[in-house]
Structure 1
Amino acid sequence: MEKSKPHQPGYVQLILLTPERANRHLRQSAYPMNGAIYISSDSYVKLHLRENEEQHGPSVKKLSENGTELDEVYCLHCVHWPSDAEKWYFRKRSHGWPDTNCVKAIYDDGCHVVPIGSKSIDRYGNWSADPLIWRLSFSEAEKRLVHTMNDTQFLVYGTFKLLLKEAFENNNDTLCSYFMKTLVFWSIEESTTALWQPLRLVSCIEVCLKRLISWVSNGFCPNYFVRENNMFYGRLGENEQCFLINHLLELYAQGWRCLLRCPSMKPFEDALQNTNIQIPKMLNDDLNTREIHFISPEINEESGADHEEEVDVGFFSDLENDVINFSDITGLKTMFSKKIVSLIKAERDRSDIDIITLSQQKLLQRMALFLLDETLLESRCARFKYRQIRRALSLLSYTCRADISRGRLSLATAYYCLGNYSKALKIIELYEDILHHRSGVLYVSSKYPTKVDPGYKKNFCTRALNRLERASLAVSYDFHVYQNRPIIPKEIALEI
């Protein structure tokens, strides 16, 4: 096995050292070059093709005896661990996954090589695979890693396979199941073990989704065993990248509701929507009053709910009345930087972090609208405007979780003013769906009296929800449009 230096990491060339001991397929795949006999990956897989079978990457697609389709991969076992993956074996694992015994067992078992070359662009601008290159495969190691997952980790892996199949708008099959497995591997290794608990399933999904967004945004999906191998290479073009990043940010903005995009999850829709209401009811059914009081004294105390409602009204009102007096994006960036510093400067309690995080969301939202306004008013080249608009839309998508109304309506308005009416309509439909399933709203305004739906106290107070969660589920702000600004529908501008 020879490292293929001109090609990306994770790919090798095979030299046939003992032709007299090789089987028929290896001998017929031999390709003499530069005084050595190389094995052609392209010839090797084609030699296994039979009538009515077709090649599918490194595999041969065929029908089983019972008539189902299957992919058969003709690979070669490498008894030694490849040099490209040495860093995987020696790297430090701060959270203990996988453990040293598992790592040692994987290392000792070696790997496989499969007959598919790395992609490159030919002189005609087309992507093609080098016929003499083979790809390193760690499928046996991956099976071993999957078997070490706990129930929560396995559920997250299954969830992302489901999202890929039913929720991700995956043009040209840019994303694949293998990327989802890689995503979960990296997330488990680089996250504390305390995260991967059943009660934190939604947080685990959010951690993985944020990592996937980062990969797509940077155009780099690192192979788990060969970090330098960018698996997006040759798959993620500029158009696909722009489409995917906006789509994933839209899903992230929906929080756990993005699971409802999967048709398979529809039977559980009511259960998911009413989770926060049903938990106390179940407690009341299963335990007597004394036990409930002992576990959570405030559940049956009306005064506790009243107090939380008052505190929330004050909290979100103060946040909304924190007027931003900057008329340019530079001032907003300065203020945003100060908020970041205050977040990481010292240990803070939960409410301090909520204030800073929600303030950041508010600033980012304002920055995004400023960026859109400035970009549309400037006379710059189309490429520059495209990138700035893309940045602004990404920011608006990210900040949708700060409340149930303003963020989504701002994003829908931006798409409408940019001429993407179908996207705007889709966001409005999602917003209407949220309103339809709402269990109570806290309406906060800087100009009008605050209003609280009766259901807010019942369904969101004394439910152990932090204020970030309450904001994303039940807090609504005024939606502002400004005359003489580009981001305002013409129909509305005529009435102002």
Structure 2
Amino acid sequence: MTKIRKISEVMDSDNATQIGEIPVQKMSESVYVGMCHKIGTPQQVAFRRDIGDIWELLKNQSDGGRLMSSGSRREGFRLHGSDIDNMYWLTNYRVIWDFSHSEYYNIHRQTLILCDNSESPAGFTLLWLPLERAAQIVLSSCVRMNGGLYLSSSKYRDKFNTCTAITPDSRVHGPCSSGTHGSIEYDHAYCFVSDFWPPSAASWINRCHSWPPPHVANDIVRNGCHFVAIGHKLGNQEDKEWRISFSLAEYKLVCSMNHTQFLTYGMLKLFLKEIINNGLRDEDKLLCSYHMKTAVFWAIQQNTLPHWCPQNLLVGFWVCFKLLLKWVYEGISPNFFIPENNMFLSKIHGQAQTSLFRRLYGLYEKGIALLLHSLSIRSSIIDVLCNPRLTVCTDEHTLISEAEFDVELFAEIFSTNSLHTSDLQHCMKSLHTVEQLIGSPLSQYQVVSLHKNTATILQCTAFILHNMYTNTGVNKQVYIADKLSRHMLKLASKFGYVSDMLYIAMYYYKTLRYREALSVIEMTKVKLAQPYLMYEDHVDIVRYTEAVGGQSLSTKMRQAVAGNIKLDNEICYISELLPEQQSSRQNGLLALYIPPHVLLHMLEFLSSRHVDTMRAQTALDELQVLVHHDQGLYIRDVLRDISWEILGICQQITGNIQAALYSYQQSLRQCPFHRIQIATTERIQDLHFSTSHFY
């Protein structure tokens, strides 16, 4: 049996951060550069967070509820497998810790919930409704206990998860509703909020001497905490208890880290996934990412490493690993805000604790060479081992080219441009928020994100207005709505991507202005054919840099960036795609995403049929060549279902039944990203019916 040194000796030793004769500083610099490529440079992490800020501000337009994004994606990570974590709470409910707090609220507008943590483990509490006045979904989640009405965490969680399931595969996972949307996993937690800092976390305030800075600590305390619907597994009232959540505080702490500290946190996440938990079943994974985050928090606050810099990255990692090892040895992992809450209590004890410690100690004995077992980290170490004289530059401006940076930036903007504003009132509130943000201090990333989101809101508003007034029969109203819609779409094209001009073309086609539609299509076609155009991750770096290098992000977006066209499934854009939107909406999806070149050819075909039949046939031929032969340049694999569908629709319109049937069948064979199978199947049935009827 391997002789294990005393844990005090392990904590005091620092000689394991060396491989061969390579200085740890040089090796750390190489790993720092590798982690910047894997996890992100300071600027990349900054724009991910900044863009998330704008998304959150525009998303929270509802009077009834609020949303807060949390977890690793919100923190700035984009590692494979990172899921989307969102927390939702009702705005007219507030949790208080003492009856004296009620003086800060209008009890006629807000329902107060009182914490009762007298019998709960540290970090958990019961929630009591003293006035027994609440919405039905809240009251139906309550249980009678000790003569009072208490909110049951299990009942509340189950009711909200049932009522608000986003996708058919939604399931309960801890306090969350979990599922998959496209290729991304999500966790949505339904919770309550308190404007007050928990008394049980008062000691945390007194610990904040060196980190975080006073202004961050004060901001954290001012913003209170949340309560998520899950009790302590070893408590007597697990189904009724609520866990105190510090997600907002944790996000602010992560944002206050310097980049070396952030990369240390990222390395620990990779270390956990690729080494500690590699090959284990989910039920055998005792350590989680939250333990890694907590270890970094404690290591920074306890000033274990005076200088967190690229040259000390591996030393910082080693400090955190030794702290984890100590926790597992002692069976105690203290929560960062409430140390009395031992996060190992329910899982890591007895034989499981002994086994985990031996595994971790075996890794510890390897020294920093243990990182050679990580697929994501080892290449950076090997580079230095193979070339000891290698010069490593940690300046972030040398790590990624301008074009590569812009590819990720605009992809991030597009992925968070997910406002679904099918309600005119919601659109107006969003535009009011935009108006307020214009005068506030924003980063360059927030400005360009706001521009794109504004374009989306204007586009939605334009089509909603048109659909509202088209059938009123009042000519003056129709005229005014039409004028406003056209103005908003033209304005949106000045804020958004090059491809956003296709919304104008769609509107002209929808309003029977076929020649105007073709004129816009012609201009868009020229812009989309520019050799410097960036479409998703496809870009000629040299030509892009020559054309727009060094210009503002807003200029780049307007002149050199194209994106997929998003059609909100609650809004009718053109009648030809209504069945697909309805099918997608029935299956829980909010929008269709159409490659710009596919939509361009479709609109050219549809508009030309009324003014130039030869041009219509040419457009259809070009669409067919694109869909049949594209190798991922203009049509991503996940968008092939809607692309084949659109080709089939156009072929069916011309009367080419066999070609349309083939296209619809191809659509069914693709990845069902848009869940349009109902529409596709109905179109096939219509073809069979019309063919048999004809004969």
TM-score under structure 2 length normalisation: 0.37
Residues 448-467 of structure 1: pairs in structure 2 closer than 5 A? none
**Residues 290-301 of structure 1 correspond to what in structure 2 (within 5 A)?**
none
Structure 1 residue 192: Cα displacement: 5.3
The answer as to whether partners of 1:89 and 1:103 remain within 8 angstroms in 2 is yes
1:63–1:69 Cα contact (<8 Å) kept: yes
Aligned to 2:189: 73
Q: Distance in 1 between matches of 2:176 and 2:243?
A: 12
Q: Which residue of 2 aligns with 1:62?
A: 179
CA contact (8 A) 1:195 1:204 kept: no
Partner deviation per Cα, 1:42-95 (whole Å, 9 max, x = no partner): 00000023364211010011332x3532111001111111111111112353xx
| 1:363-420: CA deviation from partner (whole Å, max 9, x where unpaired) | xxxxxxxxxxxxxxxxxxxxxxxxxxxxxxxxxxxxxxxxxxxxxxxxxxxxxxxxxx
2:156, 2:229 within 8 Å by CA — same for their partners in 1? Answer: yes
Q: Distance in 1 between matches of 2:194 and 2:235?
A: 29
Q: What letter corresponds to residue 245 of structure 2 in structure 1?
A: S
**Which of 212, 216, 227 is the equivalent residue of 2:339?**
227
Could you tell me whether the CA contact under 8 Å between 2:194 and 2:226 is conserved in 1?
A: yes
Deviations 1:414-464 (A, max 9, x none): xxxxxxxxxxxxxxxxxxxxxxxxxxxxxxxxxxxxxxxxxxxxxxxxxxx
| Corresponding residue number in structure 1 for 2:123 | 10
Q: Residue in 1 aligned with 2:364? A: 252
1:143 aligns with 2:283: no
Which residue in 2 is equivalent to 1:133?
241
> What stretches of structure 1 of length at least 5 have no aligned partner?
123-128, 281-496
1:447 is aligned to none
| Partner in structure 2 of residue 474 of structure 1 | none
For 1:402, the equivalent position in structure 2 comes to none
Q: Counterpart amino acid of 1:273?
A: L
Find the aligned partners of 1:168 and 1:272 in 2 and give their Cα distance: 24
Which of 219, 225, 234 aligns to 1:111? It is 225
Checking the alignment, whether the CA contact within 8 Å between 2:120 and 2:126 is kept in structure 1 is no
- 8 Å CA contact 1:169–1:247 kept in 2: the answer is no
Match of 2:273 among 159, 165, 168: 165
* Residues 77-132 of structure 1 deviation map (CA, whole Å, 9 limit, x = unaligned): 11111111111112353xx110111111100100000000011278xxxxxx7111
The structure 2 residue matched to 1:154, chosen from 258, 262, 266, is: 262
SS of aligned partner of 1:48: helix
Change (3 A) 1:132 1:191: same
Unaligned runs of 5+ in 2: 1-113, 163-167, 393-695
Is 1:91 the counterpart of 2:203 in the alignment?
A: no
2:288 is the alignment partner of 1:176: yes
Percent identity for Structure 1 against Structure 2: 36
Q: Name the counterpart of 1:207.
A: 319
Query: What CA distance in whole angstroms lies between the structure 2 residues aligned with 1:255 and 1:177?
Result: 22
- Aligned partners of 2:183 and 2:208: how far apart in 1? 47
**Displacement of 1:268:** 3.0
What are the equivalent positions in structure 2 for 1:344-423 lying under 5 Å apart? none
2:239 pairs with 1:100 = no
> Aligned partner of 2:233: which letter?
K
Q: How far has the Cα of 1:275 moved from its partner?
A: 6.1
What CA distance in whole angstroms lies between the structure 1 residues aligned with 2:235 and 2:194?
29
SS of equivalent residue, structure 2 residue 121: coil
Amino acid at match of 2:225: C
The separation in 2 between residues aligned to 1:70 and 1:252, in whole angstroms, is: 34
1:245-284 alignment runs, 5 A limit:
245-274=357-386, 276-278=388-390
Cα gap change, 1:176 to 1:272, in 2 (>3 Å): farther
- Structure 2 counterpart of 1:103, one-letter code: A
Alpha-carbon distance between aligned partners in 2 of 1:275 and 1:159, rounded to the nearest angstrom: 23
- Return structure 1 stretches of 4+ with deviation > 6 angstroms: none
Cα pair distance change 1:275/1:12, threshold 3 Å: farther
- Cα separation, 1, equivalents of 2:241 and 2:142: 13
Distance change (3 Å), C-alpha of 1:6 and 1:17? closer
Which residue identity lines up with residue 71 of structure 1 in the other structure? D
Letter in 2 for 1:59: C
Shift of 1:266: 4.2
Cα displacement (A) at 1:151: 1.1
Supply the AA of the counterpart residue of 2:319: V
- Give distance in 2, aligned partners of 1:79 and 1:159: 34
Residues in 2 aligned to 1:278 and 1:33: alpha-carbon distance in whole angstroms: 68
Cα pair 2:116 2:125 within 8 Å, conserved: yes
Coordinate RMSD, CA, aligned: 2.1
Counterparts of 2:152 and 2:301, CA distance in 1: 36
Q: Counterparts of 1:166 and 1:272 in 2: how far apart (Å)?
A: 21
Task: State which drifts further: 255-264 or 186-195.
Answer: 186-195
1:286 is aligned to none
Q: Relative to 1, partners in 2 of residues 1:199 and 1:249: Cα closer, same or farther, differing over 3 Å? A: same
Which residues in structure 2 correspond to 1:299-310 (within 5 Å)? none
Q: Deviations over 1:345-368 (max 9, x none)?
A: xxxxxxxxxxxxxxxxxxxxxxxx
CA-CA distance at 1:247 after TM superposition: 1.6
State the partner residue of 2:685. none
Letter in structure 1 aligned against 2:119: P
Higher relative contact order (CA 8 A, sep 6+): 2
* Alignment length (residue pairs): 270
Read off the aligned partner of 1:165 and give its amino acid letter: K
